[in-house]
Structure 1
Amino acid sequence: MAPKVLISDKLSDAAVQIFRDRGIEVDFQPDLGKDKDKLAEVIGDYDGLAIRSATKVTPTILENAPNLKVIGRAGIGTDNIDKEAASKKGVIVMNTPFGNMITTAEHAIAMMFAVARQIPEASASTHAGKWEKSKFMGVELTGKTLGVIGAGNIGGIVCDRARGLRMKVVAYDPFLSQEKADKMGVEKVELDELLSRADFITLHVPLTDQTKNILSKENLEKTKKGVRIINCARGGLVDESALAELLKSGHVAGAGFDVFAEEPAKENPLFNLPNVVCTPHLGAATTEAQENVALQVAEQMADYLLTGAVQNALNMPSVTAEEAKVMGPWIKLSDHLGSFIGQMTDEAIKAINILYDGSVSEMNLEALNCSLIAGIMKSINPEVNMVSAPLIAKERGIKISTTRQAQSGAFEGYIKVTVATDKRERSIGGTVFSDGKPRFIQIKGINIDAEIGRHMLYTTNEDVPGIIGTLGTTMGKNGVNIANFTLGRSAAKGEAIALLYVDEAVKPEALKELHETGLFRQIRNLQFDVA
């Protein structure tokens, strides 16, 4: 059955057509997002939800969406989506961070010009029939120092454009390497130095606990007298009340704001102050950007629903379509390894260590981790998936560590997972053969070669004669057909294990018979999703 996508905000016809061309059923209701009750009523029928800013995806909406797999936001901001609730429900949240980069950067540059030359006020004055040429004395951008807070995608474009305007650019960004700064032609500085040197300051960071009020009253007071401040990133990055006071005192010469701490902004301390240019969150408001993000979100959602490729997800590692093809068997193996551990572990898990050896260590380990953790957690909650599993593990206080190493054995690549509880450690290893089929290759340090089937029987025992016969006879007597039989032992007369791939789950009466022989330390039915 073809996936179904609901578009509840205004998206272009071309974006709608992308879904249809990819074989996805589309329900285009561009005004539905404004009616939260109606949205909650119908959302249960859809696999995907494509939105802009009007639709609010609340926990109530998500509770009514049992089939929802992905939410795509045409744009950068996802404040209108409860991402924690979406993660708990296993719903991927995607945005389109690159579709409006140039547009937003250009708006910041435009705001710099507008503030430097007082263009809005001069325009209003001229429209009013005044000719106040001497009143609107401006400043040049050429030769001035621009302080860029956040030199990522958008900030990087602003740096490039500013250098084209012959500005000196200093940048503060904890993630900016010296090598990248040199390549960009900017000077990498700490925040305090930027504040003291910059003639203009522009912000290009997301709103996080670390960046909230990054231009606080204290930091604003560290700025150079006559500085001009531009914010086209996110409301809440600047203490607007403190900035208003510094504008009134003349310490700050001007400001250009496209975003505000509270939006829609009907009232704000910056409103009606001289040489403050305000726009109503227009950073992405160009024809080109709106079309770009709409097309991008349609492509991303279609790719995920049809191929499993994940792009620009906020709560899931990205996996390209090419990676999805190569990693598919390894992701399945990760799930099987986790599922084995989860089904075998009855006590609370304290820690999970995952070892990636050889070729697999060069793959997208975040995605493999998510799959493995989901496999473990599914034994507790069958509705867990790759999106929700890491969050659930974190909530349970489980420590997760990952190790990667070069090829160390006979296999080109393998994965080994070790889980610790208060009572014991349990480990299992696996690989993917050239036929693309996952195999278990080690359990409890005992080497094996086990094909993985939907139904399996796992036993442990002392290495003594008669085990194979007992297992075979008991299965035959109870009508259980064995598809594959794998044995392994630590040493002669030591600990031994058996994995039987059977056509159906072994019934309780057969398990009871095996227990009553006294030969087995552990007997357990296992089930794996091999579809």
Structure 2
Amino acid sequence: MAPRVLVSDKLSETAVQIFRDRGIEVDYMPDLGKDKDRLLEVIGDYDGLAIRSATKVTEKLLERASRLKVIGRAGIGVDNIDVPAASRRGVIVMNTPFGNAVTTAEHAIAMMFAVARQLPEASVSTHQGKWEKNRFMGVELFNKTLGVIGVGNIGSIVCDRALGLHMKVIAYDPYLSEERAQKLGVTKVDLDELLARADFITLHVPLTEKTRNILSAEAIAKTKKGVRIINCARGGLVDEAALAEALKSGHVAGAAFDVFEKEPATDSPLFGLPNVVVTPHLGASTTEAQENVAIQVAEQMSDYLLTGAVQNALNMPSVTAEEAAVMGPWLKLAQHLGAFAGQMTQEPITAVNILYDGVVAGMNLEALNCAAIAGLMKVVNPDVNMVSAPIVARERGIRISTTHQEKSGAFEGYIKLTVVTDGRERSIAGTVFSDGKPRFIQIKGINIDAEIGAHMLYTTNEDVPGIIGTLGQTLGEAGVNIANFTLGRAAPGGDAIALLYLDKPADPAVLDALRATGRFHQVQPLEFDVA
């Protein structure tokens, strides 16, 4: 059955057509996001939800979204999505961080020009028939120092444009390396130095607990007298009341704001002040940007629903289409290893250690970790997936560690998963053969070569004659056919294991019959998702 997507906000027709061209059923209802009750009624019929800012994705809505796999936000901000609730329910949340980067950066530069030359006030005055040439004395941008707070996608473009205007650019960003700063042509400084030196300050960071009020009253007091402040990023980064006081005192010469702490902004301490330019969150409001983010979200959602590729997800590692094609069997193997360990472990798990060897060590390990933990945690919660499993594991206090190494054995690559409990450690390893099929290659340190099937049976015993016969006869008498039979032993006469791939599950009576022979230390049925 083809995936089905709901578009509940206004989105480009080009984007809607992308879904159709990719073979995805799409319902375009651009006003539905405003009708909460109706949205609740229909959301359970869809695998994907494409939105802008009008649709509010709440925990209540997610509870009704039984089929939902992915939410695509055409834009950067996801304030209207309960991302933690989506993660708990295994729903991927994507945004489009690059589609409106140029547009937003250009708006910041335009706002900087506007406040430098008092363009809005001069325009209003001239429209009124006044000719107040002497009133609107501006400043040049040439040779001025621009302080950029946050040098991500948008901040980097602002830096580039400002350098083209022959401004001196200094930047504060804890994640900006010296090498990256040199490549951009900017000087990396700490926040206090930026505040003290900048003639203009522009903000380009997300709103987090660390960045909220990054320009507080205290920070504004440290700025250079006559500074002009531009915010086209997020409301809440600047203390608006403190900035208003600094504007009134003359310490700050001007401000240009496109975003506000409360939006829609019908009132703000900045409103009505001279040389304050304000716009109604227009950063992404260009024809090109709206088209770009719509097309981008449609392509990202289609890729995920059809191929498993994950791009620009906020709650899962990204996996490109190329990676998905190569990693597919390895992701499946990681899930199988986790599923084996989960079904074999009855006591509480305290830690999981995952070793990646050889060719697999160079792959997307974060995604492989998620697949392994998903397989492990499905025993606890059958509804978990790669998105929600790490959260479930974390809530249970399970520590997850990863090691990778160069090729160290006979296989081109392998994954070894070790589960730690208070009483023991249990390990299992696997690889992917050239046919693309995952195999188990080691259990409890005993080498094997086991094909993985939907229904399997695992037994442990002493290495003595007759084990194969007992298994074959007992299962045969019960009408259970063995598709594949793998044996392994630590040493002659020592510990031995058997792993059987069955055509159908062995019912409890058959398992009891095997246990009753007294020949097995352990008889454990196993189920794997091999679809």
TM-score higher than 0.5 here?
yes
Q: How does 1:464-475 map to 2 (within 5 A)?
A: 464-475=464-475
Q: Is 1:133 the equivalent of 2:136?
A: no
Aligned partner of 1:231 in structure 2 is 231
Distance 1:88 1:206 in 2: 23
Report what 2:215 is aligned to.
215
Tell me which residue corresponds to 1:332: 332
1:477 correspondence with 2:482:
no
CA distance in structure 2 between the aligned counterparts of 1:119 and 1:399, rounded to whole angstroms: 57
The residue that corresponds to 1:380 in the other structure is 380
Residue 187 of structure 1: how far off its partner (Å):
0.5
Matches within 5 A, 1:436-451: 436-451=436-451
Task: Give the drift of 1:383.
Answer: 0.7
1:113-128 correspondence to structure 2 within 5 Å: 113-128=113-128
| 1:250-276 CA distance string (max 9 Å, x none) | 111111111111111111111111111
1:156 aligned residue: 156
Tell me the residue number matched to 1:251.
251
Amino acid at match of 1:301: M
User: Residues 79-478 of structure 1: matches in 2 within 5 Å?
Assistant: 79-478=79-478
Please identify, of 18-27 and 431-440, the stretch whose mean Cα deviation from structure 2 is larger: 18-27
DSSP 3-state at the match of 2:241: helix
CA distance in 1, matches of 2:414, 2:210: 38
What's the counterpart of residue 40 of structure 1? 40
State the distance in 1 between where 2:200 and 2:494 align: 74
Q: Secondary structure at the match of 1:352?
A: strand
Secondary structure at the counterpart of residue 420 of structure 1 = strand
The residue number in structure 2 matching 1:494 is 494
Distance 2:316 2:103 in 1: 27
Q: What percent of counterpart residues are identical? A: 78
Please state how far the C-alpha of 1:5 moved relative to its aligned partner: 0.7
Runs of 4+ in structure 1 off by over 3 angstroms are none
Give, in whole Å, the separation in 1 of the partners of 2:415 and 2:482: 27
Per-residue deviation, 1:87:
0.7
Q: Which runs of 5+ in 1 are unaligned?
A: none
Superposed displacement of residue 208, structure 1: 1.3
1:503 matched to 2:503: yes
Equivalent residues, number: 531
Deviation per CA, 1:21-52: give whole Å up to 9, x if none. Answer: 11111111000000011001001111111111
SS of structure 2 residue aligned to 1:520: coil
Paired residue type of 1:487: L
5+ residue gaps in structure 2? Answer: none
Distance in 2, Cα, partners of 1:249 & 1:400: 54
Task: For 1:508, give the aligned amino acid.
Answer: P
Q: What is the alpha-carbon root mean square deviation over aligned residues? A: 0.9
Give the distance between the partners of 1:288 and 1:212, measured in 2 at CA: 30
Q: Displacement of 1:505 after TM fit?
A: 0.8
- Residues of 2 paired with 1:95 and 1:250: CA distance? 40
The amino acid of 1:511's aligned partner reads: L
What is the CA-CA distance between 1:216 and the residue it aligns to? 1.5
Show CA shifts across 1:340-372 (max 9, x none): 011111121111111110000100111111111
Structure 2 distance, partners of 1:218, 1:341, is 54
Q: Secondary structure at the match of 2:299?
A: helix
| 1:307 shift after superposition | 0.9
| CA distance, structure 2, for counterparts of residue 249 and residue 399 of structure 1 | 54
Structure 1 position 493, deviation (Å): 2.1
Structure 1 equivalent of residue 59 of structure 2: 59
Cα distance, 1:492 vs structure 2: 2.0
The one-letter amino acid of 2:346's match is D
Q: Per-residue CA shift, 1:367-408, capped at 9, x if unaligned?
A: 111111100011111110111111111111211111111111
Tell me which amino acid in the other structure corresponds to 1:502: L
CA distance in 2, matches of 1:394, 1:273: 49
Give distance in 1, aligned partners of 2:311 and 2:261: 29
Cα displacement string for residues 466-510 of structure 1 (whole angstroms, at most 9, x for unaligned residues): 211211111111111111111111122221111011111111111
